[in-house]
Chains A and B, each alone.
Chain A
Amino acid sequence: MLGPVREMGFLASSFVVSLGHLGVFAGRVLAALVRPPVRVRELILEIYKLGVLSVSIVVVAGLAVGMVLGLQGYSILARFGAAESLGSVVGLSLLRELGPVLTALLVTGRAGSATTAEIGTMVATEQLDGLRMMSVDPVHYVIVPRALGLALVMPLLSSLFITCGLAGGWVVGVGLMGLDSGRYLSSLQASTEFVNDVVGSFVKAAIFGVIVGLVATWRGWRSEPTSAGVSAATTSTVVIASLSILLGDYMITALWGL
């Protein structure tokens, strides 16, 4: 009868231990981040792998989500004769929630898991030990460019997602449903405020970027040096990062009233 209780206790304590590991890891990454030299070439390469290669999925998803918002929003608003407000409905949903959260989840699945797999493979093939033996800090050379890259590309990708979403909503509202284009834009502009909505969406995206950056590199770093280990690490990145993003979204929204 005590079995399940003991199980829960074990889970809880291993959760806390893991959190501690993550904290220590984050500290190392931060310390390496501010230490020169700045690895610009590596950072640019990572921005390419993580950002540029995510553009297509972000653009397509943004357009699709925007169009769905346009369709659903229109059908509900039209019932109350408030179809003119479509711009504000699409815009606010995207800016405040869907843009940062969906972009972060997409990037986690694509770039986050790829990063974990890459680092895990480097662990398995002793490349990280090789770096240490060459007197190069693997955190500085491998981890920092990837974590920083993920954190930097997230707000940019989120902005692209939102812009495409607004365009998708426009295509449906103005193109399909015949709303006035000016109305769409002015309703959008009227209900959105720079600090609360736009800056808020950047901040959320940046926070999610840091979360994904740390989780993806951490799970790769801690992966078992086997193919099964790398696979498990990759899965755990997607699970942990996704849950953290959703939880973090709730907390930010609740605390900041976004």
Chain B
Amino acid sequence: MERSGTRDVAVGLFLLAGILAAGFLSLRVGGFTLTKPDTITVYASFDEIGGLKPRAPVVIAGFKVGEVRSIDLDQNSRARVTMELDAEQKYPVDTSASIVTSGVLGDRYISLQLGGEDDVLKHGDTIQYTESAVLLERLLGKFIHNADVGGDPK
């Protein structure tokens, strides 16, 4: 077999490029983590989560500070969201969490408004102040209902 140095280098580069691309997709896109950055787990319950999904971002003023880990029902049949937040950031205990939408029909995510208290949320705490997702259908329904009431009789 002809020993070709350039060919071997090319194969090596190709394999490297492929593995890097695969790695990029796994880590930066798919969110595969080998080491867990320091996070605290925090809970919040909502009446309505809309289309909020696990892995949705949690942001403060648009800056991502965490992710939704999972969603389940609590004892009062409200949706309880489990979030993992960056432990470096401090979250006062009166911080509120609202579910907002990216655009009108976009993905749902959680936006935090930091409170003013000195005490901060610890691992396992629950956020007390929550604002549920606004469902477009309900909004339209209200609009139509109001229009009916104030408008022409049928």
* Residue positions of A touching B, CB distance < 8 A: 41-42, 44-45, 47-48, 51-52, 55, 80-85, 88, 91, 95, 153, 155-157, 159-160, 162-163, 166, 183, 185-195, 197-199, 201-202
- 17 A-B pairs within 8 Å (CB atoms) are namely A45-B7, A52-B11, A55-B14, A80-B105, A91-B29, A153-B18, A155-B18, A156-B18, A157-B18, A160-B18, A160-B21, A163-B21, A185-B28, A189-B29, A189-B57, A190-B109, A191-B53
* Nearest opposing residue in chain A for B15, CB measure: A156
Whether A190 lies near B55 (C-beta < 8 A) is yes
Whether B106 lies near A85 (C-beta < 8 A) is yes
Question: A162 — which chain B residues lie within 8 A by C-beta?
Answer: 21, 25
* Count of A-B contacts judged by CB separation below 8 Å: 118
Known interface pairs A47-B14, A190-B109; A198-B26 also in contact (CB < 8 Å): yes
* Residue positions of B touching A, CB distance < 8 A: 1, 7-8, 10-11, 13-15, 17-19, 21-22, 24-26, 28-32, 53, 55-57, 64, 102-107, 109
* Nearest opposing residue in chain A for B33, CB measure: A194
Question: B13 — which chain A residues lie within 8 A by C-beta?
Answer: 52
With A48-B11, A198-B29 given, can you name 12 additional A-B contacts, CB distance below 8 Å? A42-B1, A52-B10, A52-B11, A55-B14, A95-B25, A156-B15, A159-B24, A163-B21, A183-B102, A187-B102, A189-B28, A201-B25
Pick the residue among B11, B21, B22, B32 that contacts A51 (CB under 8 A).
Answer: B11
Question: B28 — which chain A residues lie within 8 A by C-beta?
Answer: 185, 189
Whether A88 lies near B107 (C-beta < 8 A) is yes
What CA separation (Å) do A193 and B28 show in the bound complex? Answer: 11
Whether B106 lies near A82 (C-beta < 8 A) is yes
What CA separation (Å) do A195 and B1 show in the bound complex? Answer: 41
Whether B11 lies near A186 (C-beta < 8 A) is no
Pick the residue among B17, B25, B55, B106 that contacts A55 (CB under 8 A).
Answer: B17
What CA separation (Å) do A162 and B23 show in the bound complex? Answer: 12
B60 to chain A, nearest CB (A): 14
What CA separation (Å) do A153 and B14 show in the bound complex? Answer: 9
Question: B17 — which chain A residues lie within 8 A by C-beta?
Answer: 55, 156, 160
* Nearest opposing residue in chain A for B67, CB measure: A190
Whether B1 lies near A45 (C-beta < 8 A) is yes
Question: A88 — which chain B residues lie within 8 A by C-beta?
Answer: 107
What CA separation (Å) do A207 and B36 show in the bound complex? Answer: 32
Q: For the complex of A and B, list the 10 residue pairs with the smallest distance between their C-beta atoms, beginning with the closest.
A: A156-B18, A194-B30, A198-B30, A159-B21, A81-B104, A159-B22, A82-B105, A82-B106, A163-B21, A194-B32
What CA separation (Å) do A199 and B29 show in the bound complex? Answer: 11
Whether A156 lies near B102 (C-beta < 8 A) is no
A202 to chain B, nearest CB (A): 7
* Nearest opposing residue in chain A for B32, CB measure: A194
Question: A48 — which chain B residues lie within 8 A by C-beta?
Answer: 7, 10-11, 14
* Nearest opposing residue in chain B for A41, CB measure: B1
A80 to chain B, nearest CB (A): 4
What CA separation (Å) do A44 and B18 show in the bound complex? Answer: 15
